Amino acid sequence: MKIGFIGTGVMGKSMAGHLLAAGHDLTVHTRTREKAADLLGQGAKWADSAAEAALDRDVAISMVGFPADVEEIHLGPQGTLSTSNPPSLLIDMTTSTPSLARSLATEAAARGISAIDAPVSGGDKGAREASLSIMVGGAWEAVDRAMPLFEIMGRTIVFMGDAGAGQHTKMANQILVSSSMVGACEAILYAEAAGLDPRKMVEAVSQGAAATWTIQNLAPRMLDGDFEPGFFVEHFVKDLGIALTESANLGLDLPGLAGAARLYRLLESRGLGRKGTQALLLLYREGGVAATENL
């Protein structure tokens, strides 16, 4: 298939690489060209804009940082829909707002094009190992066309409903991740203060009712002092902000989410936005958590 792939950061690079390796014809565009160097070396073609990446392609896939980027890439003056011969299928895999997913689908439909939302979970590891969970919203016929591509990039692919349903599912996912992250940091902090070996604690709790992906996969990174991304704090702050806005719109009171969002905003305000989400432990260790109680 002829694919335009836009956004080759930590996640996108691995995902595009799997599509290339599976024999697809890729044109790539990303903000910083050097981040596409590996893919270009593997046979991908370079495009100077999202529009150029999308021209004469079957599908355009976006995997970028923020909803504003998604909007620009697809709906902007140099966007995928601006070309003379746009793809018949747009797939946004960024974690973005359900409302943008719906308006993108509506704008695309007005030109006879399908747009689906397909955010992912599993982090850099899931992207590298093609074991991502992919949560898909959109018209079934379009989703069905995209399935072979999803199966190359992920392992658990679930069709959730109309446009926006993928993003809503990702919000539920991030609510879970945020509470797991708080739990992991607090358990490690407690174990260290109580004089336990925190690695033994992780071993002891990782197979029972306390088991989480975070304690199994990120706690060891935390205990190694490895706070590199993985998944950026600044992107997680964005995700939790979307989840808070959406839950407020839905009339929900979610104190766990609200508390985690406060902690992550404070972490970002301390200049750690480009660290991995496991860097929350640093805020706990320096006692910065108390400061959130008055935010």
Query: Does residue 36 contact residue 46 with C-beta atoms inside 8 Å?
Result: yes
- How far apart CA 62 and CA 3 sit, in angstroms, is 11
- Give least dist CB 290 to a second copy, A: 5
- The letter for the amino acid at 271 is G
75 binds a second copy (CB under 8 A): no
- Give least dist CB 191 to a second copy, A: 5
| Closest of 190, 213, 191 to residue 201, by C-alpha | 191
- Taking contact as CB under 8 A, which single stretch among the options 26-34, 37-45, 70-78, 195-203 is the one that binds a second copy? 195-203
Dihedrals φ, ψ of 93, to 5°?
-105, 0
Nearer to a second copy, 110 or 209 (CB): 209
- Taking contact as CB under 8 A, which single stretch among the options 14-22, 29-37, 139-147, 245-253 is the one that binds a second copy? 245-253
Dihedrals φ, ψ of 266, to 5°?
-65, -40
Among 152, 189, 221, 265, binds a second copy (CB under 8 A): 189
Query: Does residue 104 contact residue 76 with C-beta atoms inside 8 Å?
Result: no
Using DSSP bridges, classify how beta strands 132-137 and 120-121 pair: parallel, antiparallel or unpaired.
Answer: antiparallel
180 binds a second copy (CB under 8 A): yes
- The letter for the amino acid at 184 is A
Among 59, 105, 146, 177, binds a second copy (CB under 8 A): 177
Residues 209-228 that bind a second copy (CB under 8 A): 209-215, 217
- Give least dist CB 185 to a second copy, A: 8
Tell me, by CB under 8 A, how many residues bind a second copy: 78
Nearer to a second copy, 77 or 195 (CB): 195
Residues 249-278 that bind a second copy (CB under 8 A): 250-257, 259-260, 263
Task: Report the Cα 96 to chain-centroid distance in Å.
Answer: 9
For the four alpha carbons of 128, 130, 134 and 140, in that order, the dihedral sign comes to positive
Over the window 121 to 150, marking each residue x when it contacts a second copy by CB under 8 A and - when it does not, the resulting string is xxx--x----xxx-x---------------
287 binds a second copy (CB under 8 A): yes
Residue with tokens 């029972």: 208
Structure tokens at 188: 């490690």
191 binds a second copy (CB under 8 A): yes
- How far apart CA 237 and CA 263 sit, in angstroms, is 9
Residues 6+ apart with CB under 8 A from 40: 28, 46
Quick check: is 170 catalytic?
yes
- Give least dist CB 161 to a second copy, A: 7
Nearer to a second copy, 52 or 239 (CB): 239
Active site residues: 170
